[in-house]
Structures are given as C-alpha cells and as structure tokens.
Homo-oligomer: A and B are copies of this chain.
C-alpha cells in the first residue's frame, strides 16, 4: 500500500518535477494547484501526507496548514512545507502551525524524497512501503502479503492493517480508541468492542504460525504487540 501524497503547488514545472520524482520513488501522487482543489481532493481521498507550497494563489500555505490542523479528519495528516524563503521566522511560523517538516526551494529531489520518507517513518510507519519483519513473521506492503517463514497467512483487509500497525508500533499499549483512530481512521463511527473482534480474528490467523501470543491484552488499557520473550512470573501463585 504505497503512501498517497498530495502535492499542493501552483507552479506547473515544479509540480511535475515533484510528481515525477515521487512516483519514481514509489509513491502514489495526487496534485492540486490551489487550496480549493486541494480541499476537494482531501475530502474524497484522504492522503497520507501533504506537500504544501508556502505561497498559494488566493490563500497562503500557512493559512491552509492551519485549516488542515483544525479539520477533524485532516488533523493528523503530516504536512511538509515547501518554501522559497529561508528566514528563520518563516521556519518557526511553519512549524508552529503544525508542519512536520519543511523543504526550501530550490531543493534536490533526493532530499525531498528523503524527508518524506523520514516523516512517514516517524509519524505513520504503517503507510510507508517498507517490509516489516519480526522474527519469522513478515509483512510486505508491496505485494500485500503476510508470511511466516514460507507459510502464507491470509488476512482480511482490516486484520492486515491492524497487524501492519501493530508490527510497526510494538512494545506499546494502544487503547481501543487509539487503534480505531490509527487503523480504522479518525473518528470512524464504530463501537470500541469492534476492535476486540478484529483482534480475535487476527489472533486466530496468527495462531497457525504460533504467533498469536504476540498480541497481548493489557487489561484496562488496551492491546500490545510484543514479540519479546519475557519470562512470565505467573502460574506460581495466581491460581485459584
């Protein structure tokens, strides 16, 4: 599942340069020349990351970034600002409004791609195309396959995304509501208990590989993915 990147840039030449390079790097791209078009795209297909030009016809990028940060659905989308300016104040203003990084023009395509990679890895690793492999368990976003050694594990779409998220966020407890936000999407109207059901389905699928214990219940808190072998100190006294 290649990350989808929205490019908001009015200069056609630069836009095409970026599109070319991002596609080269394996990203899916959509683009808009102004804020209105950008908004309509965002409403249709939530991008994973937004490349936003500082100067836009009609509305400046800072303003637009602020609007995105206000939107319920768009709040969590990483934003990288493109700016011709190098003033420190602009940098600060950009970061203050919630940009996650910025690139000054002129930029090298390699630098741009590198920064995008970095931001995605940091903020939504499950949206990057990197293979995740833990022990023998391997999830390959490119061919959308999960394997254990040479055995293939079949998962439904939701279980796949859930596993992908968990494998890229291990050793950390996530509440049901956090999982809904990150795996289902922000503020999807779904019962929290639904998470349990999908956890169950995922565990069932992993059971064949004997890896179902990696998905752990943390009572009162949520779920945790952990492949670390820890000697349980239980079963010596907790019995009834």
Contact = CB atoms under 8 A, between A and B. Distances in A.
Interface of A: 1, 12-13, 16-17, 20-21, 23, 66, 69-70, 75, 92, 95-98, 106, 108-110, 142-145, 147-148, 150-154, 156-157, 171-173, 204-205, 207-209, 218-221, 224, 226, 230-234, 236-238
A143 B156 contact: no
Contact of A20 (B1, B75, B142): B75
Contact of A171 (B17, B66, B143, B238): B143
Contacts of A224: 143-144
A142 B233 contact: no
Contact of A154 (B145, B205, B234): B234
A142 B172 contact: yes
A69 B13 CA distance: 10
B233 A151 contact: yes
